[in-house]
Structure 1
Amino acid sequence: MRQLFLCVVAVLCQSVFADVQSLKQRISLQYPKLALTDLMTTPIDHLYSARLDGQVVYLDESGEYLFTGAILRLKDQKNITQELLQNKASNLWATLPLQDAIPIVKGTGQHKIAVFSDPNCPYCQQLERELSRLNDVTIYIFMYPLRPQSEKLTKQVWCSPNSSYAWQKLMQQGINPVASLNCQNPIERNLALGQRLGFNGTPSIVFANGESNIGFLSADQIQSFWRQHGL
């Protein structure tokens, strides 16, 4: 009986995987510019969820129709969309390529935060002053040059002997880095990552529980978030 049960489960899993894969292939062929990620099944038959520009969207099994908005389960008023957002958020931090960020550690470094930042963004510069007020924190800076004039600066920072020092000098004192551009850097990957996450502005902040915020936050707001969520 146990072997029969395992066989049934295996067949069902293969069927679900095949359905998701076939839908993914169909969409990529018919709509190659539609940048969907995290395509998966939902509790509703023949309905799939995906992520598009940082938002949860839904597709039918034909791949011809795309829906946005909240889905509620009437029997218990459960917000299916909110649950999907929370599940995706919980996985976000674990999938961040931290090797492509500049780590800045203060004190014990126990609190963790990731910041997508553009050196020519005034609010990013303001955020840097607020980040300097935080204690016992590890800040991962993903340089994210949405402005064309920022690309050279970010590459020079990365190529500097001490990138965290070069970044803080640039953002807090306006001292430009002098390093050459002759090193491999993650800037293109960071741009692709931010766009995939729907970060269409800077600064964009990701907390260790996967929740994110586009826009400026003060040090007090960040610390309040940590206390509220036990981070």
Structure 2
Amino acid sequence: MKKLSLLILSSLMTSIVYANTSHLAVQLKQQYPNLNFQNLAPTETSRLYSATLGQRVVYLDEAGQHLFVGQMIRLKDQKDLTQDLINIMPSNRMDWKKLPLNDAIEIVKGNGQQQLAIFEDPNCPYCQKLEPELDKLNNVTIYVFLYPLRPQSVMPSKQVWCSESRAFAWKNLMQMKIQPKATKYCDNPIARNLALGQQLKLVGTPTLIFKDGSFKTGWMSSDEIQQHLAK
């Protein structure tokens, strides 16, 4: 009975949110017919909604009388919620099919059905923090693009690529600080990866790219990644 009550309450709250969003959309259309608000959605802040206006993310009060422009940062983890919205805008999505997956380390977990690409620098602290979260994922194929933005990261990246087991060498380096032992030179994609990152306008590491073309720069928890993969 308790579970049924919770289910009904959850359904009711979803309906109220949807009704409020729909009502605001109608208000905006009636009052400001020349402004084309898209992707209207509730935010984590009560009575505040996000939307896109052209190429900008904007925020609106529930009465549709005030518009706010700027970055919304969640203080508890300094997460840039506005940047997340920018990354999923259709005009900003990346073309997954254009990623040269042969230039990445392939790591298969479970059935490997879902796919995720990550640009990482071995000396990036947030990349190192991300690795244990990736270990918690299941049924995903992860493509790690070695992306050494720091000069001291170039040689370890090349050594990882030239190792007998790239995935094993990468995990040892990132999680246990064990330097790769490959000494022989081999053809590697490091220069191509750096050029690709510039082409994609990557601003830092780690950058996670999902198959739908959306992306996120910075640390993510395994739960956040799994939720995004499930969309």
TM range (shorter): 0.5 to 0.7
Residue 74 of structure 2 is aligned to residue 114 of structure 1: no
2:64 aligned partner: none
Q: Residues 36 and 54 of structure 2 are in contact (CA less than 8 Å); yes or no, is this contact kept in structure 1? A: no
CA distance in 2, matches of 1:188, 1:148: 12
Distance of 1:199 and 1:76 partners within structure 2: 29
Q: How big is the shift at 1:76? A: 4.8
Cross-structure match for 2:143 = 140
In the alignment, structure 1 residue 86 sits paired with structure 2 residue 46:
no
Query: 1:226 Cα shift?
Result: 2.2
1:74 matched to 2:34? The reply is yes
Residue matched to 1:198: 201
Give the letter aligned to residue 98 of structure 2: T
User: How many percent identity over aligned positions?
Assistant: 50
Question: How high is the TM-score relative to the length of structure 1?
Answer: 0.62
Q: What runs of 5+ residues in structure 1 fail to find an aligned partner?
A: 1-72
**Aligned pairs (5 A) from 1:209-228:** 209-227=212-230
Q: Does 1:127 find its partner at 2:126? A: no
Which segment is superposed worse, 100-109 or 194-203? 194-203
1:43-192 correspondence runs (5 A) = 74=34, 76-77=36-37, 79-81=53-55, 85-86=89-90, 89=93, 92-192=95-195
Contact 1:155–1:181 under 8 Å retained in 2: no
Q: Which amino acid aligns with 1:86?
A: P
- Cα deviation code 1:3-29 (max 9, x no counterpart): xxxxxxxxxxxxxxxxxxxxxxxxxxx
CA contact (8 A) 2:159 2:181 kept: yes
Q: CA deviation at 1:223?
A: 1.2
- Separation in 2 of the partners of 1:75 and 1:156? 54
Structure 1 CA distance for aligned equivalents of residues 98 and 92 of structure 2: 10
Distance (whole Å) between structure 2 residues aligned to residue 182 and residue 201 of structure 1: 27
Tell me the amino acid that sits aligned with residue 133 of structure 1: K
User: Secondary structure of the residue that 1:178 maps to in structure 2?
Assistant: coil
State whether residues 93 and 210 of structure 1, in contact with CA within 8 Å, keep that contact through their aligned partners in structure 2. yes
2:24 corresponds to: none
Structure 2 vs 1, CA of residues 121 and 181 (structure 1 numbering), >3 Å: closer, same or farther? farther
Deviations 1:53-89 (A, max 9, x none): xxxxxxxxxxxxxxxxxxxx93754555479951552
Is there any run of 5+ residues in structure 2 with no aligned partner, and where? Answer: 1-32, 39-52, 57-85
TM norm structure 2: 0.62
For residues 119 and 86 of structure 1, the distance between their equivalents in structure 2, rounded to whole angstroms, comes to 31
Separation in 1, partners of 2:214, 2:222: 17
Give the counterpart letter for 2:34 in structure 1: L
The number of residues matched between the two structures is 155
How far the C-alpha of 1:199 sits from its partner, in A, is 1.2
